[in-house]
Amino acid sequence: MEALSWWHTAKDSLQRFVLPHRCLLCGGEGADSMDLCRDCAAELPRNQRCCARCALPLAEPAALCGQCQRQPPPWDAAWVPFRYAWPLDRLETRFKFGADLAAGRVLSMLWLREMPWAARPDLIVPVPLHPHRLRVRGHNQALELARPLARAMDVPLQVAWLSRERGTAAQTELGAVARRRNVRRAFAAKTSAAWPGHVVLLDDVMTTGATLGECSRVLRQAGVERIDVWALARAPITHR
């Protein structure tokens, strides 16, 4: 698997050196050193008006959504710069399920350009995959998105202190209640680790927040004082 990953990376780098940037969505000329044209970039669904606690898109300006006012999640703040809608969802699907490194690079660059540089944490922790799913997929999309963010911010990236102890069904087709049940006691935090005071939990897409909530719960038990959640995109919530 590592040899295959190395080959894909080397081939991708060679193509980047030889070929001009082409838009991954429409095939037109890329812009701003990305495989994305300006027209497609302008269509990206930004999550500009949203709840500060859970990043839920809001119809009217407000600090918190109704749910977070009634029952706040177990983290302190959320930063999710995009909504999970066309055309960003197409890039995310290609990266996550198709191992498209070029799409992953575009997503990372888009995320970096939206970065709130004032909110610098002590540590970034990507949401882990279960070892079996990691072997099947070949990469952890949250980790691959976290690497360039951590480098740009000069913040340590930790992948060994939070683990997925139990395999779970895919969350994609589950509603809010089923998602919470599905990930209950699925994660473990290393309690003997020297956890800093401010940790960012990072995932690629946030829907109900069930996975990030369960990760936050075990980090609190390990002694983390402030937990922010970062995700690239916020997906619509399904109530089932």
Q: Where are the alpha helices (DSSP H) in the chain?
A: 2-18, 38-42, 66-70, 88-98, 101-113, 131-137, 141-153, 176-183, 210-221
Question: What confidence tens digit (pLDDT) does each residue in 98-141 have?
Answer: 989 899 999 999 999 998 766 689 999 999 999 888 888 889 99
6 plus 85 within the same structural domain: no
Residue 14 lies inside a defined structural domain of this protein:
yes
39 plus 97 within the same structural domain: no
Residue 240 lies inside a defined structural domain of this protein:
no
Residue 158 lies inside a defined structural domain of this protein:
yes
Residue 191 lies inside a defined structural domain of this protein:
yes
115 plus 22 within the same structural domain: no
Range of the domain at 34: 1-43
Q: How far apart are CA 163 and CA 12, in angstroms?
A: 30
Pick from 182, 32, 57, 192: nearest CA to 112: 32
Residue 187 lies inside a defined structural domain of this protein:
yes
36 plus 147 within the same structural domain: no
101 plus 24 within the same structural domain: no
pLDDT for the residue 61: 81
CB neighbours of residue 203 within 10 Å: 22
12 plus 117 within the same structural domain: no
113 plus 52 within the same structural domain: yes
DSSP one-letter code for 198 = E
Structural domains of the chain, count: 2
Residue 24 lies inside a defined structural domain of this protein:
yes
Residue 239 lies inside a defined structural domain of this protein:
no
98 plus 199 within the same structural domain: yes
The CATH number assigned to the domain holding 222 equals 3.40.50
Amino acid at 7: W
Q: How far apart are CA 53 and CA 158, in angstroms?
A: 24
pLDDT for the residue 56: 95
Residue 162 lies inside a defined structural domain of this protein:
yes
Q: Given pLDDT bands bounded at 50, 70 and 90, which one contains residue 6?
A: very low
39 plus 51 within the same structural domain: no
Q: Which residues does 190 contact at the CB level (< 8 Å), separation at least 6?
A: 160, 161, 162, 163, 222
52 plus 39 within the same structural domain: no
Question: Which residue carries 């911010």 as its tokens?
Answer: 153
4 plus 108 within the same structural domain: no
Question: Which residue carries 């069904």 as its tokens?
Answer: 169
Q: Is the per-residue pLDDT at 236 higher than 80? A: no
Q: Given pLDDT bands bounded at 50, 70 and 90, which one contains residue 181?
A: low
Q: Given pLDDT bands bounded at 50, 70 and 90, which one contains residue 4?
A: very low
pTM of the model: 0.85
15 plus 114 within the same structural domain: no
